[in-house]
Amino acid sequence: MGDKFEELFYDAWKQENFLTFQQVAQKLIANGSITGNKKKEVEKFLDSFKDIQPSDKPSIAIEKIIHHTAYLTYIKNSHDADDAETRIQNIKELIEAMRHFESQEANTITLFLDEVALLQEKLQKSDDQEHKIWLMTLHAAKGLEFDIVILSGLEEGILPTSRSLYDENLEEERRLFYVGITRAKERLLLSHAKFRYTYGQMVDQLPSQFLDELPSKHIQNEDCSYWQGSQFRQYFADWLNLKHETVIAAPASYKRNKKMFQEIIAKRLGKDFVKAAPEKVEKPKTITPEKIVNGFKINHPVTHAKYGTGLVQKVEQKNCDTFVTVKFKDGIKKIMSQFLETA
């Protein structure tokens, strides 16, 4: 559409901050600000969303968009076969991730985007911390060295890839594995899974054949298949010579996904293996309009580093956290209070 259209669009949006992007586009069409081919392209873009509502399931919405835009056909036509297949598998994995969120009660587009926004805020917060973990591909690691290196997913079909098992690229995969293990200056951890939840189903995994090629006298094997969160933390604390507590609570992620794990176990055993009593869930306390909590009040303006200025729609107190639902110019977001400032 070009830089001029982008400038025109955002200028129009700034004048009426609380319109949706569809409403801004429709207003530009109605007042004749865009005509000809640009008008047709904008109308075509808006058509992609005509059958989608905020209350729809995220996985169904994205499937509609993919179908309407013929995105898979575009990928196949614009990339080589291997790259296209990888991209298509990534899309399938994204849809499966959405279905997982739906099973965790984030079963509408609005709730899903709220969850994603919260995750982004947490990632942004952790990114500001001094100590960071570098996550990279084996290709990107060439020429670099680190005190500690962890190679995960060392399984047949991943490293080496499933394609290399049937062609002449196995030696290239072995060379990549060598690149990975030689990046470590002090400590090296190699891990593989017995089972992997992939594309909506649990799949048995075989250890990578490359692991058998390592000299056993230099390898310390640990079977952590049934370890709990506290055991992992204690193991890594010992491995890194860090101080640690002897009793450590199970990680929050396990508690959140406990029901899903139980369902997977029961499905694999073919019977109702686990019958856990329903856990008590504390309902969030919603703040009334006239009440101020942590400096936030309904219908009062707040600012966010990314989304700009918005109006508070709802304030919820859950345990020690305060969640604020805010209406910004590009939509309604649910954000933790520490990432907002009162205007």
pLDDT for the residue numbered 292: 62
Q: Strand 184-190 and strand 146-151: pairing?
A: parallel
Sequence-separated (6 or more) residues with CB below 8 Å from residue 133: none
Amino acid at 82: D
d(CA 223, CA 197): 19
- Give kind and range of the element (H or E) at residue 311: strand 308-318
- Mean residue pLDDT of the chain comes to 80
Check whether 156 has a pLDDT greater than 80.
yes
d(CA 276, CA 197): 22
Q: Which runs of consecutive H residues, i.e. helices, occur in 168-327?
A: 170-181, 209-212, 229-239, 252-256, 258-269
pLDDT tens string 276-289: 434 444 455 555 55
**Tokens in use for 5?**
């259209």
pLDDT for the residue numbered 218: 83
Find where tokens 């310390």 sit.
220
**Tokens in use for 223?**
């079977």
332 near 298, Cβ under 8 Å? no
pLDDT for the residue numbered 331: 78
pLDDT for the residue numbered 225: 81
Q: What percent of the chain has pLDDT over 90?
A: 24
Average pLDDT over residues 165-186: 87
d(CA 316, CA 279): 21
Helix (H, G, I), strand (E, B), or coil: what is residue 290? coil
Q: Strand 321-328 and strand 308-318: pairing?
A: antiparallel
If pLDDT is split at 50, 70 and 90, which confidence band does 120 have? confident
d(CA 29, CA 15): 16
Q: Which domains does the chain have, with CATH numbers?
A: 3-95 (no CATH), 133-219 (3.40.50.300), 282-343 (2.30.30)
If pLDDT is split at 50, 70 and 90, which confidence band does 235 have? confident
Check whether 211 has a pLDDT greater than 50.
yes
d(CA 97, CA 80): 26
If pLDDT is split at 50, 70 and 90, which confidence band does 140 have? confident
pLDDT for the residue numbered 189: 92
Higher pLDDT: 11 or 317? It is 11
pLDDT for the residue numbered 72: 93
Exposed / middle / buried, residue 170 (Cβ in 10 Å: 0-12, 13-18, 19+): middle
pLDDT tens string 298-338: 888 888 877 788 888 888 877 677 888 888 877 788 888 87
pLDDT for the residue numbered 266: 54
25 near 10, Cβ under 8 Å? no
Q: Which of 42, 26, 48, 36 is nearest to 12 (CA)?
A: 26
Angle at 15 between CA 34 and CA 314, to 5 degrees: 125
Amino acid at 232: F
Q: Which of 133, 134, 184, 178 is nearest to 159 (CA)?
A: 178
Higher pLDDT: 247 or 215? It is 215
Q: Strand 301-304 and strand 340-342: pairing?
A: antiparallel
If pLDDT is split at 50, 70 and 90, which confidence band does 155 have? very high
